[in-house]
């Protein structure tokens, strides 16, 4: 694994596997290789663009939406994605969740019967030890029957060899589970990653994909068409495609919303409904996720679009 600090601020990490799939300037390369433009911080960019800190209810638990909570089980990933909206959280030395932090989180969920889904996130939850993962899943399962567990991960495409027999057994023991994958480019679908996805499928894990619309990486109808048709072929449902969040130093990777809407409209004419993800954005400032279309933009000025959620919260997103 390659891991180094290129400058005081810039974190760089990638697996040898993922690096070997890329060449300089390619769509895969740009996802992990630092760009000098990352030192450009726009006024409206934020350390915590989704304002998750505002919704922390215990040291590792975020309760933003009524029916679901997010458990941050680690700050580690095997690859640092240049566009990551938690880039200021990743690799801060807080490592994997402790037993007492799991207990605190589970106590909270137990007391909040409105919580129906628990999403393991981070960092990448599949970087924690199998023993710790098993313990987290078992403790969540014991809270009450019917809780849905989702795991957000890039491991099947970043290091497919980690989808081991041991992991598959843990997943089977804690079924039903959903994986929220992040696959952004069709070149991430290789014989190795497809084999890993098939193993997960065979184990009964539901597979959903959330990609991020990224300038110079996948902002083309042809690339997205190949990606979504390829995902369907391996039984992964394209779920969301996200407008880039306003993380610091990511402006060069953001596609203007006006262009995003054009791409999505064109894509609808090219692929079936089942292959089509929902275009969505997290409203900056903690407004949560909304579906992005012309109707969700309630106002605009020279610099910003104004977006409103169902609670009436209005946040602004830059036009460029
Ligand atoms: S794997 Fe996810 S959490 Fe980790 S750097 Fe990439 S986007 Fe961020």
Record the tokens describing residue 82, joined without a space: 């240049």
Sheet holding 304-308, edge to edge: 297-300, 304-308, 314-318
- Tens-place pLDDT, residues 83-106: 999 988 888 888 899 999 999 999
| Residue 33: burial class (beta carbons within 10 Å; 0-12, 13-18, 19+) | middle
Record the tokens describing residue 237, joined without a space: 């449902």
CA–centroid distance, residue 108 to ligand 1 (Å): 26
- Cβ contacts of residue 280 below 8 Å, gap of 6+? 240, 241, 242, 243, 289, 290, 291, 292
| Residue 208: burial class (beta carbons within 10 Å; 0-12, 13-18, 19+) | middle
pTM (two decimals):
0.95
CA–centroid distance, residue 295 to ligand 1 (Å): 30
Q: Among the CATH numbers 3.20.20.70, 1.10.3720.10, 3.10.450.50, 3.40.50.970, which is that of 2-235+244-274? A: 3.20.20.70
**Residue 8: what pLDDT?**
43
* Nearest CA owner, ligand 1 atom 3: 123
Cα separation of the two ends of the chain? 35
Residues with CB under 6 A from ligand 1: 77, 79-81, 84, 86, 90, 122-124, 154
DSSP 99-145: HHHHHHHHHHHHH-TT--EEEEESS-GGGS-HHHHHHHHHHHHHH-T
- Tens-place pLDDT, residues 188-226: 999 999 999 999 999 999 999 999 999 999 999 999 999
65 is an active site residue: yes
254 is an active site residue: no
Set 17, 60, 80, 84: catalytic member: 84
CA–centroid distance, residue 75 to ligand 1 (Å): 9
CA–centroid distance, residue 299 to ligand 1 (Å): 32
- Cβ contacts of residue 94 below 8 Å, gap of 6+? 75
Contact 186, 236 (CB under 8 A): no
Record the tokens describing residue 152, joined without a space: 């957000």
N residues, the chain: 320
Compute mean pLDDT per 10 residues along the chain, 320 residues long, and list them.
44 96 97 96 92 92 96 96 91 89 97 98 95 97 95 98 98 97 98 98 98 98 98 98 96 98 98 98 92 94 95 93
The pick from 83, 87, 90, 150 for probing ligand 1's pocket by mutation, whose C-beta has the most ligand atoms within 8 angstroms, reads: 90
226 is an active site residue: no
């Amino acid at each position: 694994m390659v891991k180094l600090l290129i400058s005081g601020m810039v974190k760089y990490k990638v697996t040898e596997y993922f690096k070997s799939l890329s060449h300089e300037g390619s769509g895969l390369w740009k996802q992990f290789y630092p760009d000098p433009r990352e030192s450009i911080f726009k006024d409206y960019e934020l350390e915590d663009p989704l304002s998750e800190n505002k919704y922390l209810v215990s040291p590792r638990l975020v309760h933003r939406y009524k029916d679901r909570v997010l458990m941050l089980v680690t700050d580690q990933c095997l690859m640092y994605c240049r566009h990551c909206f938690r880039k200021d959280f990743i690799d801060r030395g807080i490592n994997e969740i402790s037993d007492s932090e799991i207990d605190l989180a589970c106590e909270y969920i137990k007391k909040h019967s409105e919580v129906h889904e628990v999403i393991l996130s981070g960092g990448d939850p599949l970087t924690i030890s199998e023993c710790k993962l098993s313990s987290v899943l078992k403790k969540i399962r014991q809270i009450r029957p019917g809780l849905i567990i989702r795991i957000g991960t890039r491991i099947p495409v970043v290091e497919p060899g980690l989808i081991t027999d041991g992991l598959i057994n843990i997943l089977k023991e804690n079924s039903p589970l959903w994986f929220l994958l992040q696959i952004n480019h069709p070149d991430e679908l290789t014989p190795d990653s497809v084999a890993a996805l098939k193993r997960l499928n065979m184990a009964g894990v539901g597979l959903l994909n959330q990609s991020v619309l990224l300038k110079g990486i996948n902002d083309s109808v042809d690339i997205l068409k190949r990606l979504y048709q390829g995902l369907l072929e391996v039984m992964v449902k394209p779920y969301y495609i996200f407008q880039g969040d306003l993380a610091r130093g990511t402006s060069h990777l953001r596609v203007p919303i006006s262009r995003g809407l054009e791409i999505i409209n064109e894509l609808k004419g090219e692929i079936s409904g089942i292959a089509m993800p929902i275009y969505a954005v997290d409203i900056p400032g903690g407004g949560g996720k909304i579906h992005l279309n012309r109707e969700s933009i309630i106002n605009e000025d020279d610099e910003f679009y104004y977006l409103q959620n169902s609670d009436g919260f209005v946040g602004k997103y830059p036009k460029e």
